[in-house]
Every structure is written in C-alpha cells, then in structure tokens.
Amino acid sequence: MSFKVIPKVALPEWIDHLCTGYRVVGPKPLHGQHIFSDIQSAVELDLGYPTTVIPPKKYLLPQREDLIRFKSDGNQIHVEEVIETKPTVVLGIHTCDLHAIQLLDRVFYQGFSDQHYRAHRENTYLVSIECLQPCIPQSFCKSMGTLSVTDGFDLHLTDIGDDYAVDIETEKGAALLDGFSAVRDVTDEEYRLFNRVVSEKWARFPLRLDFDITELPSLLSVSYESKLWDELGERCLACGMCTNVCPTCYCFNVTDEVDFTLSAGKRIRIWDSCQLDKFATVSGGHNFRSSRAHRQRHRFFRKGKYQMDAYGLLGCVGCGRCGQACLADIKIVDTLNDLYHRHANNREQERLL
C-alpha cells in the first residue's frame, strides 16, 4: 500500500497511542528468554528479541479456550457460543512466525472454517519486523525460505538505524497509524538505506540445510523405514515441548467441564501434541502410534510432507524453537540433514554394487 517511517524516539508515543484503542502485546524479556505478553508502555517491549518460548499463534489459537456454554433444564439443552476476543495488536512478529500464521490461516479457514480462530484472526493486527541478525543457533529460516515476507502482515517494520521503515500493507495496518503524528513519509535517502539494510542482511544468515528444501517431501517418502526414527525414539521423552512451542502446530483436544449441578457447564479446547503417549489412542484402547519412534516419524512427516500435500505449505518454518526446547537435543535441521546423508550414502552403496 504505502511506505512510511517512524522515528525510534517516537516509539513510546506510538505504543501509548495504540494502548488507548487496542490490547497491545509484544516480546518481553523473562529470566533470560522472551515471551509475548501484554505491553503497557514501550519500556517493556524488546523488539530486538531473538525468539520467544511460544510463538504469537497463542493469540489466534489460545492454549486453553472456552468454546460453548451449555445448560440443561431437564427437557432441553441450551447451548451458547462463547467467543472472547478484543482488538489486539501483536508487535514484533518475526517473518518465520508470519509464514506460520499463513499456514494456520489455510488450516482454519479451509472447509468448515473455525469460528473461534476466525474471530481472533479478524480482531488481530499483525505488526511484523524484519530480522537483521540470526536469532538462535537452532534456527534455519533461510533454508526454509521464511527469512522475508512480501505479504500476510498489516504493518512490517525494518530497523534502519534511527528509524523504523514501515511497510503498510492493509487498511488495518493503516488504522494503527491513524492520529499518530510522528509517522512521516520516507525520504529517498531513507529508502536507499532501507534497501541496503535488507539486502546486506542475507550474508549474515547461514544456509543450514544440506539439500534443497523442495526435495524434502520426496526425501521423507523414501525414508519411512529409516532406522533414524528408532534412534530418535530412544532419546525422545514424549514431553510434547517441541509441538507446544511450534508456530505451525495446531492440534487440540476438546473436553467438557460441568459445575456441581451437573446440568450446566462449558466445552473447552486445549492444545494437544502428537508426541504424547495417548494422542492416537482410540475407543477400545488401541493406540495406533504407541511407540515414540512412530510418533517422531509422524511429526517429521507432518512437517515435511503431509502439510504440503494437504495445504501446499511446509509445516516447518525453521524457527528453531523445538530444537531449543528439546532436552533430548532433537533438532529438525540436524535430523533432516542426517536423513539426507543416509539416503545419499545408500544410493552410493547401491551404485557400487
């Protein structure tokens, strides 16, 4: 839409301005890490954060959410939809997480769209920020093609020194700047600076995947019987941290809670994880993925193949959160490289025979 500039000195004023009309959330430091949390003023915000424990998907798909309330009067059951949402500005979303939101949008809007997700999504203002430095050693966004964005945000910020360059993509984005006087047009000099900053950043990011990402679905197809899954299964704790911190994971469980009258209550949903022991247990008690190895394999296939087949996007954006969280040190990028080299070695052996 248009391109503007916000002087960094005016950031506090902008945050104050936003807080008058919206719930404002952004990255905040906590015990040496960062989490997305409510912001009342700019001093709390750390836009230079490396990563957060949980991605901003929690504002679109909360960890725990009431879906409906129900009440029975003996003859009839009354059901009332519960949608609790307020206009929320999410500041400082990294581009990997923005790509992940694009996948979530496809998942939750396709077919029978999810009215809770939709309500949050439509009430959420996405303000992303360009990464200029690699975040954490476990990340591999450049290999996954998620180190930049062209759309999917409402506003996109780039740090150009004394100012933030602001790409205004949507009406929603423009509304966030309404009545904020410090935002101004970009000068030619600033535009050149902006271009230099975003082109020079690429050399700082390593390509961590040893093969081209487009080969991933076929690599997985030929690796279904790999021994690697058993090796991961030996180490994996089935703790579910990798999926709970993942910006593209969206599995949830639905349960009912009643009050002591036993005639009224609510239905809630809560995040679930394919890595947990009983995730794939069906009535009758059969668990069709009872081993950790099979669950790990399932996770990698979801990320690298099934999502692509179903939604046309990979289920991993390379943010590295899972690798950082996993106590057993299971990392997506290392595992995929390992698979690739094993496969290449097998081919080589076959050729020599």
Partner 1 sequence: MSAKPKVAFFDFTSCEGCQLTVIDSLQTHPEILDVIDIVCFREAMSEKGDDYQIAFIEGSCTRPSDEPVMQAIRDRAELVVALGACAHLGGINAIRNRFDLDDVRQYVYGDKAEWYETYQARPIKAVIPIDAVLPGCPIDRREFVAALKALLQGRAIQIPDYPVCVECKLKENICVYLRGKTCLGPITRAGCDAICPTYGDGCEGCRGLIPDPNIDSLKQILSEHGLNPDETLAKMTLFLNYQTMEREAADDDQENG
| Residue 117 is a binding residue for partner 1 (CB under 8 A) | no
Strand order in the sheet with 163-168: 33-38, 23-30, 88-94, 124-129, 155-159, 163-168, 2-7, 184-185
- Angle CA 24–25–26, to nearest 5: 130
DSSP per residue, 151-200 = SS-SEEEEE-SSEEEEEE-SHHHHHHHTT-TT-EEPPHHHHHHHHHHHHH
Total residues in contact with partner 1, by rule CB under 8 A:
35
303 binds, among ligand SF4, partner 1, none (CB under 5 to 8 A by kind): ligand SF4
198 binds, among partner 1, ligand SF4, none (CB under 5 to 8 A by kind): none
Integer angstrom CA distances of residue 275 from 233, 263, 291, 326? 10, 34, 10, 12
Residue 27 φ then ψ, to 5° = -70, 130
Residues that bind ligand SF4 (CB under 6 A): 51, 94-96, 131, 134-135, 139, 141, 146-147, 236-242, 245-248, 275, 303, 316-322, 325-326, 328, 330, 332
Smallest gap from Cβ 53 to partner 1, in A, equals: 5
Per CB under 8 A, contacts with partner 1 among 29-58 are: 30-33, 35, 53-54, 58
Q: Looking at this protein, which amino acid is placed at residue 250?
A: Y
318 binds, among ligand SF4, partner 1, none (CB under 5 to 8 A by kind): ligand SF4
- With CB under 8 A as the contact rule, the residue among 67, 68, 238, 268 that binds partner 1 is 238
Q: What is the Cα–Cα distance from 122 to 171, expressed in whole angstroms?
A: 12
Per CB under 8 A, contacts with partner 1 among 269-308 are: 270-271, 273, 276-278, 292
Residue ranges that bind partner 1, judged by CB under 8 A: 30-33, 35, 53-54, 58, 63-64, 234-241, 244-245, 257-260, 262, 270-271, 273, 276-278, 292, 325, 327-328
